[in-house]
Amino acid sequence: MRNIETPKGSSLPEAKRGIPRLIAAAGYSFAGLKAVFRSEEAFRLEVYTSVVLIPLGLWLGEGGVEKLLLAGSLVLLMIIEMFNTAVEVVIDRIGPEFHAMSKVAKDVGSACVFLGIGLVLATWLLILGF
C-alpha cells in the first residue's frame, strides 16, 4: 500500500505499525463481526447453521479437500453475507430515498448471497452423494 501524505493541518492520527497495527486490525474485524451479527438475522442464521454443519462436514468429509470444501463453502457464504451487509449499509448511509441504482446495488448483493447458498447446497449434495 502506498503512503498517502495528509494535508498540512490534518488531524488524522499517526498510523499504527507492526504489532499494534495487527492488534488494531483484529479489533476492527471483531467489531465488524459483532455489528453484522447484531444487525442481520440472515447472518445469525448462517452462523447457527455453520456451528452445526462445519463440525459435521469435518467429520463426514473424506480427506482434506472434501473437509475444506464442506466447511469452506459455509465460511464463504458468511463472507458473502457480510459484503452484502456492507453494501446495504453504504447505500442506506447515502440516503433513505429510493434510487434505481441503489436498488440495483442491493439486488446484486442479494443475488450474491443467493448464489452462495446455491454453492453450499451443491457442494454438500455432490460431496455427500445425494
Residues that are catalytic: 81
Give Cβ neighbours of residue 73 (< 8 Å, ≥ 6 apart): 119, 120, 123, 124
42 touches 25 (CB < 8 A): no
State the Cα–Cα distance between residues 53 and 43, nearest whole angstrom.
15
Whether residue 75 contacts residue 123, with contact meaning beta carbons closer than 8 Å, is answered with: no
Computed over its alpha carbons, how large is the radius of gyration of the chain?
19
